[in-house]
Amino acid sequence: MGVLTVLLPEPLNWSAYFIVPLFTLLYTFLLGNLIITFSVLTDRISTYLSITISMFLFILFATGVLVEFDFYPKTIGTLLSYFPLSMILSDLRGILFFNRVEWGPIMIPVATALGWTWLNGYMLKRKLKQ
């Protein structure tokens, strides 16, 4: 946050200091669910590591962290923008830089994370009953 405060020509709103940790928590919650799902579904460490590295690259390039969606062809950019992790980042950008809050795209990743947590718990329970 200090870097953004120094580098931006217009300082951030005071609410940004509360919003960024909340969105970081939600992003980490979804990412943790993704890693837990892969660890429950795979049996070999080599498969798990290759899937994890592939997903890291996918998250890096397909969620808008490094490359904006306008760089991709229109249909691919539209599909990638509906990925829950990219929805979180685009909503955070909208709140921080444009003071625009849209609750629909914020609630979709929250509902996805809660449902995914329940699904991970169910899969882990079945896996441990073996």
pLDDT digits (tens, 9 = 90+) for 32-42: 999 999 999 99
User: What is the number of domains present in the chain?
Assistant: 1
Query: What is the domain extent for residue 103?
Result: 25-128
pLDDT digits (tens, 9 = 90+) for 45-58: 999 999 999 999 99
Residue 29 lies in a domain: yes
Residue 5 lies in a domain: no
Residue 9 lies in a domain: no
pLDDT computed for residue 9 by the predictor: 67
pLDDT computed for residue 68 by the predictor: 86
User: How far apart, in whole angstroms, are the C-alpha atoms of residue 106 and residue 84?
Assistant: 9
Residue 30 lies in a domain: yes
Asked whether the whole model's pTM tops 0.85, one would answer: no
Residue 3 lies in a domain: no
User: How far apart, in whole angstroms, are the C-alpha atoms of residue 14 and residue 117?
Assistant: 32
Q: Please determine, for residue 28, whether its predicted confidence score (pLDDT) is greater than 70.
A: yes
Residue 72 lies in a domain: yes
Burial of residue 84 (number of CB atoms within 10 Å: 0-12, 13-18, 19+): buried
